[in-house]
Each structure stands twice: as C-alpha cells, then as structure tokens.
Amino acid sequence: MHTVSFPKLGLSFDLNPIAFSIGGINVTWYGIIIAAGILLALLMAFKNCKRFGVNGDKLVDVVIGGLIGGVVGARAYFVIFSWDMYKDNLSSIWHTWEGGMAIYGGVIGAFLVGIIVARIHKMRILPVMDLAALGFLIGQGIGRWGNFVNGEAFGSNTNLPWGMTGDRIVAYLSDSDNISTLTQLGVTVDPNAPVHPCFLYESIWCLLGFVLLYLYSKHRRFDGEIFILYLGWYGFERMIVEGLRTDSLLIGNIRVSQLLAGLLFVACVIIWLVIHGKIKAAHDDNYLKCYAYTEQFEKDEADYAALMALKADKAKWKEEKARRRAEKKAAKGKKKDDASAETAAETAPAEETSAAGDKTDLSDEASSSVKPETSEEETKKESGESE
C-alpha cells in the first residue's frame, strides 16, 4: 500500500498496486489498466477497419504480432537505456513485473512487428498504420493511469493546484543516486513539495488527440496521414512533458525520449506540409486517393471473401491448391527455359564473332601470300622494260 495525494485539491488515495493474487501470482492494477486500454483500442479498430481499407480478419494477426512486439520493445528500450541496472544481474531483465517499460519502445516494437505481419498478409501498410495510430492514442491515454496506481511518471516541483505527492514520490526524490542525476541535469527538487503529475498530462493529451484525429480521419486526404499526425501530436507533448520528469532515461545529460520526440515532431510537420503541397499542386482529386475509397478496395474485399468461401469447402480448396502448385511449377519451368534460351542467345553471337574473326585471319593470310608473287612479276616486268 502507498498513498498519492493532491494537497491543494484536498484529495488523497490509498493505493495497492496489486489487484489480486492467483496461486501466488500477483495480478497488478497496472496490467489490468493496460489491458483495458488495449481492449478499447481493439474494439475501435475492428469497428472502423473497413473505413480505413483494412481487412478485419487479417487485422487479428497484425494485432497479436503488435502486442508481442510492443511488450518486447518497451522492455528492450528501457533495459538498453538503463543498462547499469541490469549489467550485473542479467536474469532481472525478464522481471517485467518489477516495472521498467518504456512507451516509445513499445510503440516502435509494436509498429515493426505489426508491419512485418501485415506484409506477410499482403496488406496495404499505410491504412494499417493509420488505424494503429488511433489505437495507440487510446491505449496510451488509458494506460497512463497505471502509472498513477504505481505512484510514478511524475515531474519536478510545481505550485499548480493539481500538484501531487506521495510516499513513493518522496522516497524516490530523496534517494541520493536520483538526487545526483537530477543535479547533473541542473534540476533541484524538494522531495516533500508537490510535483507535476506527468502521467495526467500525457493521458489527457492522448485522449484529446484520439478525439481530434478520429474526427479528422473521416476527412483524411491520403493514407498514412493519421499516423504522421499521431507521431507529431504525441511528439510535441512528450518533448515538453519529458523536460518536467524526474525519471527520464538518459544518454549523458540528454533525455532520450525528449530528443526523439522533438525530432519526430519536426520531421512529421515537414512531411505533412510537403505531401499536402504536392496534393495541392497536382490539381487532381485522385492523386494519393485513400485506398478505402477506391474501386480496387472493393475488388480486393470481394476476392478475399471468395477465397474464404473457397477455403470453407475443403474438397474444392484442395483442388485449388493443387492447381496453384501446378501453375507455380509451370511458371518456374518456363522461367528456367527462358533463362536457358537467353544464355544460348548470348553465347551464339560470341561464337559467330569468333568464326568471323577466324575467317578474316585466313583472308589476311591469303592476301599476304599473293602480294609477294605479284610484286616479283611486276619487278621482272619493270626490269625487262628497262633493258
């Protein structure tokens, strides 16, 4: 149990990070809250997948892959930039229940693995990214309340009415190692004074971003636009709020997430402006048209539905697979024959050139053997005339 309070608001909460235990395994509120955020994100995604031109059946595999990648990425990001905590006890890297997950690592891991799965399923990547961006905003907006239950993700001192404090906050800011790190950054903190509730700022920002981008997505101009706006929106907030935090991951005196957020924000603004400039200059309503609004999308969906219906009939699907294998084998054989023919065609001119060269050499030899005789006859003739 620990306490989190907002003194100027007169609010105080006694919190137990462990929700319940099953067979000696603790189930934490942090995990439950994260799971709730993911569930709401999935409900939103599956409800809106067709509007983004994403196949719902294939999306299931992308989500599963993204979740695995997100967990691995979040842990890997934290461990990499907190290596001193783990280098002497490598087995502790797997102790995720002790905390130590980084949201940027989670986003990067989920994105990379999700894209790989989408490519395997031959899905269009940009619409998937757009839908994922809205899901990320929901998950992050809700998931940050897990930090509240754990008494973490807070900033430096503040006099604002919503300043927070708590026994875990006081203990963290009183630790000599943490004081040394903050002093290195030029930050002085009073452990007993209220601090910025950074988790709250990010939660509000992400949920507001979801509402705005969801409304804008109905009028998006090109595939990938919502994902670009998500990175810019979140990057702008993280660039500012990360500067307030007292538990940042560091490289020297540089806050890793703040630097990454700033670069993403600038890059996204530039990319968005450039693409919209090209669209405006094209004077063509079909230029970079969203896939969901094309005839190709309807055709692809119909083809996929027909394929699923065919797979449902096991006998017909067996025949279809045999036919496809035969076509593939025939195509492979034709390709091999074409390659052989091409090789033969390349070899033939070389042989002809060689033969022509030999013929030329023989002609030259014949010519050279005749010329001396002719020269002797002419010499004799000239001698006779002289006499």
91 lies in a domain?
A: no
- Specify the higher pLDDT residue, 350 or 44: 44
**What predicted TM-score, i.e. pTM, was given to this entire model?**
0.80
Instruction: Sheet with 11-15: list strands edge to edge.
Output: 11-15, 2-6, 165-166
Same domain flag for 210 and 138 = yes
Q: pLDDT tier at 371 (50, 70, 90 boundaries)? A: very low
* Contact status, residue 114 vs residue 69, Cβ threshold 8 Å: yes
The C-alpha R_g of the chain, in whole angstroms, comes to 35
Percentage above 90 pLDDT, the chain: 56
* Contact status, residue 194 vs residue 8, Cβ threshold 8 Å: yes
pLDDT of residue 242: 92
Number of separate domains in the chain: 2
Q: pLDDT tier at 347 (50, 70, 90 boundaries)? A: confident
pLDDT of residue 221: 94
211 lies in a domain?
A: yes
- State both tokens at 84: 């001193």
Compute CA 55 distance to the chain's CA centroid, rounded to the nearest angstrom.
Answer: 19
Query: Could you give the dihedral angle defined by the CA atoms of residues 295, 215, 259 and 78, in that order, rounded to the nearest 10 degrees?
Result: -90
* Contact status, residue 142 vs residue 36, Cβ threshold 8 Å: yes
Cα–Cα distance list, 186 to 156, 168, 193, 372 (Å): 12, 22, 18, 101
Same domain flag for 258 and 339 = no
Q: How far is it, in rounded angstroms, from Cα 232 to Cα 214?
A: 15
Q: Mean of the pLDDT values across residues 79-108?
A: 79
Identify which of 24, 57, 68, 216 has the alpha carbon closest to the alpha carbon of residue 130. Answer: 216
- State both tokens at 324: 């496809």
Q: How far is it, in rounded angstroms, from Cα 14 to Cα 376?
A: 125
* Contact status, residue 48 vs residue 127, Cβ threshold 8 Å: no
pLDDT of residue 197: 96
pLDDT of residue 99: 66
Q: How far is it, in rounded angstroms, from Cα 79 to Cα 102?
A: 9
Same domain flag for 178 and 217 = yes
SS3 172: helix
Q: How far is it, in rounded angstroms, from Cα 54 to Cα 50?
A: 5
Averaged pLDDT score across all residues of the chain: 87
254 lies in a domain?
A: yes
pLDDT of residue 104: 76
Amino acid at residue number 48: N
Same domain flag for 264 and 386 = no
Identify which of 112, 107, 127, 116 has the alpha carbon closest to the alpha carbon of residue 61. Answer: 116
Same domain flag for 323 and 287 = no
Same domain flag for 217 and 287 = yes
306 lies in a domain?
A: no
Same domain flag for 25 and 160 = yes
pLDDT of residue 331: 87
Percentage above 70 pLDDT, the chain: 89
Compute CA 90 distance to the chain's CA centroid, rounded to the nearest angstrom.
Answer: 27
Q: pLDDT tier at 386 (50, 70, 90 boundaries)? A: very low
- Structural domain that includes position 275: 2-54+124-292
Chain position carrying tokens 């002497």: 88
Per-residue pLDDT tens digits for 39-50: 999 999 999 999
Same domain flag for 277 and 138 = yes
Identify which of 186, 157, 145 has the alpha carbon closest to the alpha carbon of residue 32. Answer: 145
pLDDT of residue 383: 44
Q: pLDDT tier at 349 (50, 70, 90 boundaries)? A: low
Q: How far is it, in rounded angstroms, from Cα 282 to Cα 278?
A: 6
Choose the weakest-confidence range: 5-19, 114-128, 172-186: 172-186
Q: How far is it, in rounded angstroms, from Cα 226 to Cα 51?
A: 13
Q: How far is it, in rounded angstroms, from Cα 106 to Cα 136?
A: 10
230 lies in a domain?
A: yes
Tell me: pLDDT of 276 over 50. Answer: yes
* Contact status, residue 135 vs residue 233, Cβ threshold 8 Å: no
